[in-house]
Amino acid sequence: MRREIVNVKKPDKQRHSSRSAKVTRFEYVDEVTSDQMFRAYGENLSDVLVNAAMATFGIMYDLADVEVERHVKVEATGATEEQLLYSWLSNLLAEFDVEAVFFADFAIQRIERDKKGNLHALGKAGGSRKPPQLRTLVKGITLHRFALERNDGQYKASVVVDV
Amino acid sequence: MKEKLKQLDEFHWLLDKSARDKMRVSAIIIGSKRVIDTAEEEAIKQLTNVACLPGAVEPVLAMPDVHEGYGLPMGAVGAFDAQEGIISSGCTGFDINCGVRLIRTNLTLQDVKPKLPALMDELFKRVPSGVGATGKLRLNSNQLSDVLDLGARWAVDNGYGVQLDLIHTEEQGRMEGAGTKPPIVSDTARRRGQSQLGTLGAGNHYLEVQLVDQVFDEQVAKRFGLTKGQVAVMLHCGSRGFGHQVATDYLQSMEAAAAKYKIWLPDRQLVCAPASSPEGQAYFAAMKAAVNFAFCNRQVMTHWIRQGFETVFGQDWEKLGLHMVYDVCHNICKFETHELKGAKRQLYIHRKGATRAFGPGNPQIPEDYRPVGQPVLIGGSMGTSSYVLVGTEQAMRESFGSTCHGAGRAMSRTQAIKSFQGRAVRQALEQTGKVVRSMGNQVLAEEAPKAYKDVDMVVDAVHGAGISRKVVRQVPIGIVKG
């Protein structure tokens, strides 16, 4: 099955900061009472996927407290880029539970589109089994106000997670 | 939207279906004026969204602990006709069968206080809690399937409790007809569940040792085995990663189903399918598996709590009187028959942050409680009071046999972290004599008492509205938080 390869950018060196030297990677917004909302940004699809992952796991603990010693492959699928984002974040949470690894480092290795137009992402998440200082638990990614927008080439994701 | 509310009496407020476009039925908010004044505009708007869904049965209800959530707001009930209506994974939430269990003892404060730090240490050690916690039980595939099918019954059959525990659990600890394997329950959900049975979780989940400090109804309290000055244990947790994955899987599949059946969604989170459709019934079967997992989870932890007391007090748990009062769900969808305008109707009742509160005589209540009504367990926020209420006939007539579930958040987690220091919250609790055990301090900031509504206000409102009556109040003396 022929697959089109979508452009993938390497992750930024300032791994855990919500801001890189030039742009905001993600920010938590105080717009929902019982849960937690964030916006993540990126210059391309892989960037915003990585930054959204950092925002999600940053709710549970400080990513800078985790020393990466192992990696887990994580795949995601979606008919649209928005569904791909949902799948990526949800699958990361599932692997966090199953592998019992506290993820802190995320990378997208490739994104492909199949003949039917569905997107498939292959990525990896790095972390440690040693628990950092813990905060609260993200139970899932809601569809409430969930959106992935693209304006002037910039991606913006809006995500409300259930905690 | 608040300006369109019409006050019917002291505790009932009507939002007529003309309040906005596409509402099929009206909504009722149960609460005092203070409840209405503190309710968020967005929570009321979310209530009206649910009233737009097909087959909605009047009224869509908000309880006094209502607050903005996603889809159905927290502290709300949405009922749908079984034939014409929908079933919604978005209206049940991620933590399927998050619920509360109360275990009484025959100990007093005088018995417990000298040993309280040791008791809390023992409970903290025995009951895994916190983010990423894995359990002490590792289920193989067949065992997991049995847990998903049998619920708390599996735990009792395997030595984690007694038959009376099941009798005193909503649904007797098991919803029949659960799906246990793909395609109903995904492999990912099963993988997540295999290592998490017997874990408390994190966030607003807790285990509290409490003291009954006030009795409002002596007769009902006696029936429930509760007396003033008695020590009890309250457990609040749900279906863990298993339930979260079921919810995630069906959010995605129901989004496709809503499009397939051309259901207009005022909020994307309200993904749903016709209740009688294959998609709707698949979700219901998977949800039951998550319900059963949660019942089993709380039953296994009950056993470890009993063992903790045995170790500290040096006596068998039965001699210590650690018997179940009851166990209730507060995030669930149930298939129930209710009498509406003189006719019996079969409905799918979605309770999200709401508790069943069946009145006297209902055959689903355990026989020993049936003459007085079903126990309703209301967990307060950390460090504040909890309550035991009893269900009423009025609840059956007015609220699909439902009532509130707890305090409800008054402040976002972000605001709470900015406003409170976890260490200071811990110190404030300890200064009042409470013993606190937690995996970290930030969760204490997020769960600070002032981040929640006043539970006394919430309970007084449901009592005043007549949908459940106060029986006893408990205050925490020891707290384990994830």
- Tens-place pLDDT, residues B455-467: 999 999 999 999 9
Model confidence at B134: pLDDT above 80: no
Percentage of chain B modeled with pLDDT above 90: 83
Residues of B whose CB is below 8 A from A60? 131-132
Q: Which residues of B touch A144 (CB under 8 A)?
A: 69-71, 267-269
Please check the confidence at residue A10 and state whether its pLDDT lies above 60.
no
Residue B481: band (very low, low, confident or very high) from pLDDT cuts 50, 70, 90 = confident
Going by C-alpha positions, the residue among B416, B459, B458, B460 that lies closest to residue B441 is: B416
Which of B247, B251, B412 lies nearest to residue A30, judging by beta carbons? Answer: B412
Pick from B252, B414, B440: which is nearest to A133 by CB? Answer: B440
User: For the segment B226-241, what is each residue's pLDDT rounded down to a tens digit?
Assistant: 999 999 999 999 999 9
What tokens does B392 get? 């009423």
Lowest-pLDDT range, B44-53, B258-267, B268-277, B400-409? B400-409
Mean pLDDT value of segment A10-29: 67
Residue of B nearest to A162 (CA): B94
Q: What mean pLDDT is predicted for residues B108-125?
A: 96
Apex CA B226: angle with CA B162 and CA B99, to 5°? 60
Model confidence at B440: pLDDT above 80: no
Whole-angstrom distance, CA of residue B281 vs CA of residue A100? 32
CA distances to A38, A107, B244 from A146, rounded to whole Å, are: 10, 22, 17
Task: Confirm or reject contact between B242 and chain A (CB < 8 A).
Answer: no
Record the tokens describing residue B11, joined without a space: 């505790």
Query: Would you give the DSSP letter of residue B409?
Result: B
Q: How far is CA B225 from CA B157, B361, B362, B368, in A?
A: 25, 19, 20, 11
Give the pLDDT confidence score for residue B443 in this predicted structure. 64
- Complex-level ipTM: 0.90
Average pLDDT over residues B426-454: 73
The closest alpha carbon to B135, from B19, B255, B242, B224, belongs to B242
Contacts of A98 (CB under 8 A, 6+ apart): B188, B191, B192, B195
Q: Which domains does chain A have, with CATH numbers?
A: 4-10+44-135 (3.55.10.10)
Place of tokens 């009922």: B79
- Residue spans per domain, chain B: 2-410+452-481
Contact B45, B76 (CB under 8 A): no
SS3 letters for B193-231?
A: HHCCCCCCCCCCCEEEEEEEEEECCHHHHHHHCCCCCEE
Closest C-alpha among B359, B384, B385 to residue B372: B359
- Tokens linked to A51: 């930054």
User: How far, in whole angstroms, is CA A18 from its chain's centroid?
Assistant: 13
Whole-model pTM? Answer: 0.94
Where does the pLDDT of residue B409 fall: very low under 50, low under 70, confident under 90, or very high at 90 and above?
Answer: low
The span from the first CA to the last CA of chain A, in angstroms, equals 40
What 3-state class would DSSP assign to B63? strand
Find the range with the poorest average confidence among A6-10, A120-124, B65-69, B78-82.
Answer: A6-10
pLDDT at B454: 86
> Tokens in use for B223?
């029936």
What pLDDT is stored for residue B424 in this prediction? 76
Q: What are phi and psi of B308, to 5 degrees?
A: -60, -45
Chain A contact for B257 (CB, 8 A cutoff): no
Q: Cβ separation of A134 and B244 shorter than 8 Å?
A: no
- pLDDT score of B206 more than 50: yes
Which residue has better confidence, A111 or A152? A111
- Under CATH, what is the fold of the domain B2-410+452-481? tRNA-splicing ligase RtcB (3.90.1860)
Residues 40-59 of B with CB under 8 A from A: 40, 43
Query: What is the end-to-end Cα distance of chain B in Å, rounded?
Result: 37
Q: B57-107: per-residue pLDDT in tens?
A: 999 999 999 988 888 999 999 999 999 999 999 999 999 999 999 999 999
Q: What is the DSSP string of B296-332?
A: HHHHHHHHHHHHHHHHHH-S-TTTTT--EEEEEESEE
Cα distances (angstroms) measured from residue B273 to each of A50, B93, B250: 32, 15, 10
For the stretch B10-35, pLDDT in tens is 999 999 999 999 999 999 999 999 99
Distance CA B146, CA B154 (A): 7
Say if residue B183 is preceded by a cis peptide, omega within 30 of 0: yes
- As beta bridge partners, residue B298 has none
Q: Do A143 and B439 touch (CB under 8 A)?
A: no
Q: What is the mean pLDDT of residues B135-150?
A: 94
* Residues of chain B contacting A32 with CB distance shorter than 8 Å: 68, 70, 412
Q: Distance between CA B372 and CA B98 in Å, rounded? A: 25
Please, are residues B354 and B330 in contact by the beta-carbon 8 Å criterion? yes
Relative to beta strand A36-42, strand A154-162 is antiparallel
Going from the C-alpha of B443 to that of each of A64, A75, B149, B232, B271, the distances in angstroms are 19, 31, 33, 24, 30
* Contact between B188 and B249 (Cβ < 8 Å): yes
For residues B379 and B481, the answer to whether their CB atoms sit within 8 Å is: no
DSSP per-residue letters across B95-109: STT-EEEEEEEEEEH
Give residue B412's pLDDT. 67
* A142 contacts in chain B (CB < 8 Å): 70-71, 94, 251, 269
**What is the reported pLDDT for A163?**
85
B330 is catalytic: no
Q: What is the distance between the alpha carbons of residues B396 and B344, in angstroms, rounded to a whole number?
A: 12
**Which candidate in B236, B350, B405, B463 is catalytic?**
B405
Please give the pLDDT value at position B133. Answer: 63
Assess whether the previous peptide bond of B59 is cis (omega < 30° from 0). yes
Task: Quick: pLDDT tens for A37-94.
Answer: 999 999 999 999 999 999 999 999 999 999 999 999 999 999 999 999 999 999 999 9
C-alpha torsion sign, points B276, B277, B281, B284: negative
Cα distances from B221 to residues B224, B228, B375, B386, B470, in angstroms, run 5, 9, 10, 14, 10
